[in-house]
Amino acid sequence: MSQKMKVTIHNHSRHAPVRCLNCGATNDAATCISTEDGDPSQPMMPEPGNIIVCASCKHIMQWADGGGFEELSDETAREVAGHPLLVKLLAKKP
């Protein structure tokens, strides 16, 4: 039996335009998904180390210190591989 993971999807927040490291699409908004309780009407800004999925090409990156995107380290890629939320995001059509 699979257990559903409780998540909170927050209103999107705006940030300075950043280009996807794979396709170059400009991204200036983020919809944060949290596994902690929170007020979904309150936007959450990405924080360093948060996993980012490009809405255009589904490239997986992380939010860098000081803003912007950076590639995942090998260790982080292994940690997030197969995570149920990530799998669900990647399965959705852009």
Contact between 19 and 27 (Cβ < 8 Å): yes
Contact between 70 and 62 (Cβ < 8 Å): yes
2, part of any domain: no
Q: What is the pTM of this model?
A: 0.75
pLDDT at 2 over 50: no
What's the rounded Cα separation, in Å, for the pair 24 and 69?
Answer: 11
86: which 2 tokens? 């990530």
Query: What range does the domain containing 13 cover?
Result: 8-91
3, part of any domain: no
| N-term to C-term CA, the chain | 30
pLDDT at 70 over 70: yes
77, part of any domain: yes
Each residue of 32-43: b (16+ CB within 10 Å) or e? bbeeeeeeeeee
Q: How many domains does the chain have?
A: 1
Distances (CA, A) of 14 to 10, 22, 27: 12, 21, 9
23, part of any domain: yes
29, part of any domain: yes
What is residue 56's predicted lDDT score, i.e. its pLDDT?
Answer: 87
* Residue type (1 letter), 1: M
